[in-house]
Structure 1
Amino acid sequence: MNTPSLPRGLIVDDDVLYARMLQRGLARRGLRTAIAHDADTALSLARGEAPDFALLDLKLGADSGLSLIEPLRALDPRMRILLVTGYASVATAVESIKRGADDYLPKPASVAMILRALGLEADTALGDDAQAAPERMIPLQRLEWEHIQQALQETGGNISATARLLGMHRRSLQRKLGKRPGPERKPDPE
């Protein structure tokens, strides 16, 4: 009896801890993945053994995950490519899809979210604990932080220009920048 082999993946993220956590979570579901922390290593690994899917971080130090979409797609047109980013914005989502990404997920993307985006049901034979956690909305503070980061990027890091762009006082913006949102908390059971 031949069982279909589970997909192999490539995780490309410069956040070493997040990449390892993701790799462990996918390994618990029986998925084998390799990790690359930069674009050159990612392309080298993909050329060695073309993965079935790739999880690309948008920001890779000086590189961008967007620049990896087309070369990876050229290696294997059937490869599922997901852009996973902590800097989610409509502009980067549109750009990633235009370049050939199959999906766009905000960080921290759960293993269940990734499995769904890859077309693998979380409750299939991918492990005993693979039940999908109920989805939660991104907290408002996190969305505000990411919106500010996008505005900062558009103004080249100029605080005064960013404050004008956002229609707020410069000091208010500086206070908000000093309060980076922490990790999301689990909702309290009622």
Structure 2
Amino acid sequence: MEQHGKRLLLVEDDQGLREVLTEELQERGFQVKAYADMPSVAELSEIDWALLDLRVGSENGLELLKDLKTRHPQVKVVMMSGFGSVASAVKAMQLGAHNFIAKPVTVEMILRAFSDQAENMELPEEEISLARMEREYIDYVLQSSEGNITQAAKKLGLHRQSLQRKLRKNIPRK
């Protein structure tokens, strides 16, 4: 895939990941504009690709995606998230994202996500399903709620019993 000189916008609030991705993408010939928070779309000119985190602090990357595709429809956007849900992935695609990938990410995964040549892509060692992403996000929210199902359900926008059903349905099998 030809990427030499491609101008890439990277929005990632995790400083370590942002620095590693910036360095590795620059080594592969990309001109990277990296941000820790949501830049103003007015600032964003002359970019070819955008790699956006779904959640940047308390902000929603889907809003930036929407604004970016409105003002710069030619920009190819890939969304990434460590806590993405099925609904978030679907919404991102509806708003014009080229692809949606789950963290942790590698540069190879990112390049495949931007690729138009799906038939030539090598599959990652482990395919991450949307159901698994949802379960990981639920686990993350439960952990941040210190195991309190009622509090986690509120954060997830679910009724407590619905969350309990999801948890019973997805009990890991040995």
Query: Same fold by TM (over 0.5)?
Result: yes
Unaligned ranges ≥5, structure 1: 122-131, 174-190
Counterparts of 1:56 and 1:4, CA distance in 2: 18
Out of 43, 58, 63, which is 2:59 matched to?
63
Deviations 1:136-165 (A, max 9, x none): 21689x75433434787972238x927524
1:25 maps to a residue whose letter is E
Once the two structures are superposed, the pairs formed by residues 65-80 of structure 1 within 5 Å of their partners are: 65-80=61-76
Once the two structures are superposed, the pairs formed by residues 9-158 of structure 1 within 5 Å of their partners are: 9-39=8-38, 41-46=39-44, 49-119=45-115, 135-137=124-126, 143=133, 144-149=135-140, 155-157=153-155
Unaligned ranges ≥5, structure 2: 143-148
What does residue 146 of structure 2 align with? none
Equivalent residue of 1:9, what SS? Answer: strand
Counterparts of 1:92 and 1:53, CA distance in 2: 20
In the superposition, the TM-score normalised over structure 1's length comes to: 0.66
Task: Tell me how far 1:30 sits from its aligned partner.
Answer: 0.9
Counterparts of 2:115 and 2:128, CA distance in 1: 26
1:65 maps to a residue whose letter is G
Change (3 A) 1:26 1:133: farther
2:139 maps to a residue whose letter is I
Equivalent residue of 1:54, what SS? Answer: strand
CA RMSD of aligned residues (A): 3.5
Q: How many residues are treated as equivalent by the alignment?
A: 153
Larger Rg: 1
Task: Tell me how far 1:110 sits from its aligned partner.
Answer: 1.1
